[in-house]
Amino acid sequence: MLTAFSNTPARERIIVALDCGKDEALALADKLAGHAVWMKVGMTLYYAHGPEVVRALKEKGFKVFLDLKLHDIPHQVKGAAKAVANSGADMMTMHTFGGVAMMQAAQEGVSLSASERGASPIVTLGVTVLTSMDDETLAGLGVGRSAADQVKALAEKAKEAQISGVVASPQEAAVLRGILGPDAYIVTPGVRPAGAALGDQSRVATPAKAFADGASHIVVGRPITQAEDPVAAFEAIVDEIQES
């Protein structure tokens, strides 16, 4: 599937999820320097160490995806999004379920930070339905739609709010690419290179399949971070993408 990202080099489309403690994360980053471009910092690492972790990764030359999944009233999210952008992060997340006004507020916060810093606005992504939730969970919460339909409905809201794109499972990528168009970011976790251990992920796709279905970027954690040789594991994924 041709997208605005089709000509982006493979290594710039892989985001390494650093789901570990700070020392381990920074040691991994040192190993992957010169190979990987993007690192993902999630809530566990961020709530323990704060913007210091983002700064340390930026100093090592990485782009940082700060995955804090903001969800609050628009005023609060605007301030939080601005703070996230000011920290030096290059990509951030919010829950689309916060609504169009909240997503627009996040975008405003990011734009305000960009104009104050004289930089381009960072990438803003919406999370639709968490993959830990299924049709039954949604029904229990009073949501009448199936998870698949809810993902589509929330993606439409992300489009309306004009944020950069969404986080989605590889299975949803093709449908979401149809809704969001060729320029949107569609970042997919749940990716496993051919033959890799699944861990706790159930609905997975290979990197090549995720991109063929319209992903702009893939998030890969344990297949790289828990490999005996993380650099070799990362480069094997780059090769797998380039060969496809």
Active centre residues (catalytic):
69
Q: Is 103 near ligand C5P (CB under 6 A)?
A: no
- Extract the tokens encoding 103: 């997503």
The CA distances from residue 200 to 9, 129, 194, in Å, are 29, 18, 16
- Residue facing ligand C5P at closest CB distance: 221
CB 167 within 8 A of CB 110: no
Residue among 19, 90, 172, 213 that touches ligand C5P (CB under 6 A)? 19
- Extract the tokens encoding 9: 């080099």
For ligand C5P, which is the closer residue by CB, 61 or 199?
199
Question: Which of the ranges 31-39, 106-114, 148-156, 213-221 carries the binding residues for ligand C5P, by CB under 6 A?
Answer: 213-221
Give the rounded distance of the alpha carbon of 165 from its chain centre. Answer: 9
Q: Is 201 near ligand C5P (CB under 6 A)?
A: yes
Residue among 22, 31, 42, 55 that touches ligand C5P (CB under 6 A)? 42
- Pattern 161-190, binding to ligand C5P, x per CB under 6 A? ------x-x-------------------xx
Distance CA(156)–CA(176), nearest Å, equals 9
CB 110 within 8 A of CB 82: yes
For ligand C5P, which is the closer residue by CB, 107 or 172?
172
Residues linked to residue 165 through DSSP beta bridges, in sequence order: 125, 185
The CA distances from residue 228 to 75, 97, 223, in Å, are 45, 39, 10
Distance CA(151)–CA(213), nearest Å, equals 16
Q: Smallest distance, Å, CB 15 to ligand C5P? A: 9
For ligand C5P, which is the closer residue by CB, 86 or 131?
131
The H-or-E segment that residue 158 falls in is helix 147-161
What's 92's DSSP letter? E
Q: Determine how many CB atoms are found less than 10 A away from the CB of residue 87.
A: 21
Question: Which of the ranges 100-108, 152-160, 175-183, 219-227 carries the binding residues for ligand C5P, by CB under 6 A?
Answer: 219-227
Q: Which of residues 122-141 bind ligand C5P (CB under 6 A)?
A: 130-131
Q: Is 221 near ligand C5P (CB under 6 A)?
A: yes
* Angle subtended at Cα 133 by Cα 127 and Cα 138, rounded to the nearest 5 degrees: 100
For ligand C5P, which is the closer residue by CB, 115 or 132?
132
Residue among 57, 92, 208, 220 that touches ligand C5P (CB under 6 A)? 220
For ligand C5P, which is the closer residue by CB, 122 or 187?
187
Q: How far apart are the first and last CA of the chain?
A: 12
Q: Which of residues 63-82 bind ligand C5P (CB under 6 A)?
A: none
Summarize as ranges the residues that interact with ligand C5P (CB under 6 A).
17, 19, 40, 42, 130-131, 167, 169, 189-190, 199, 201, 219-222
